[in-house]
């Protein structure tokens, strides 16, 4: 079975632009979470979706938004990009999205803002 897939793997954007990152969870998983990992730091929680509803949101500005589709795939959107948005964006899927079910991570999307 395929693991969590994210696209694209790398992209370069200019300040002020908009970006959309995509994630396909493992088949059967209903929860998708997004994390931002800045170089040299641990991942920071951005959003969690379960059954197409937002379950949790981290301390990120409103420029960040996400959604989950009926097939449980997800998009993360970032508007008005800043240099500080440069990071590895990780998507994680889990069956239930509660505290003790394992979260499986994708390879990430490396976003560079210039």
Partner 1 sequence: AQSVTQLGSHVSVSEGALVLLRCNYSSSVPPYLFWYVQYPNQGLQLLLKYTSAATLVKGINGFEAEFKKSETSFHLTKPSAHMSDAAEYFCAVSDRAGGTSYGKLTFGQGTILTVHP
Whether the CB-CB separation of 21 and 89 falls below 8 Å is answered with yes
Q: Rank residues 80 and 104 by Cβ distance to partner 1 and give the closer one.
A: 104
Q: Rank residues 80 and 111 by Cβ distance to partner 1 and give the closer one.
A: 111
Q: Rank residues 47 and 81 by Cβ distance to partner 1 and give the closer one.
A: 47
CB of residue 16 vs partner 1: minimum separation in angstroms? 27
- CB burial of residue 75 (10 Å; 0-12, 13-18, 19+): middle
Give the interface with partner 1 as residue ranges (CB under 8 A). 4, 31, 33, 35, 40-45, 48, 50, 55-58, 90, 92, 94, 96-108, 110
CB of residue 41 vs partner 1: minimum separation in angstroms? 6
User: CA-to-CA distance for 111 and 93, rounded, in angstroms?
Assistant: 20
User: CA-to-CA distance for 114 and 53, rounded, in angstroms?
Assistant: 33
Q: Rank residues 17 and 101 by Cβ distance to partner 1 and give the closer one.
A: 101
Query: Which residue is it, tokens 């088949």?
Result: 27
* Helices and strands counted in the chain (H then E): 0, 11
CB of residue 63 vs partner 1: minimum separation in angstroms? 20
CB of residue 46 vs partner 1: minimum separation in angstroms? 10
């Amino acid at each position: 079975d395929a693991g969590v897939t994210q696209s694209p793997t790398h992209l370069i954007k200019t300040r002020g632009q908009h970006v959309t990152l995509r994630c396909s969870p493992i088949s059967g998983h209903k929860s998708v979470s997004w994390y931002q990992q800045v170089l040299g730091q641990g991942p920071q929680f951005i959003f969690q979706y379960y059954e197409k509803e937002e379950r949790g949101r981290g301390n990120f500005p409103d420029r960040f938004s996400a959604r989950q589709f009926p097939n449980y795939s997800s998009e993360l959107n970032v508007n008005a990009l800043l240099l500080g948005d440069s990071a590895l964006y990780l998507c994680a899927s889990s069956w239930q999205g509660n505290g003790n079910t394992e979260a499986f991570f994708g390879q990430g999307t490396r976003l560079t803002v210039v």
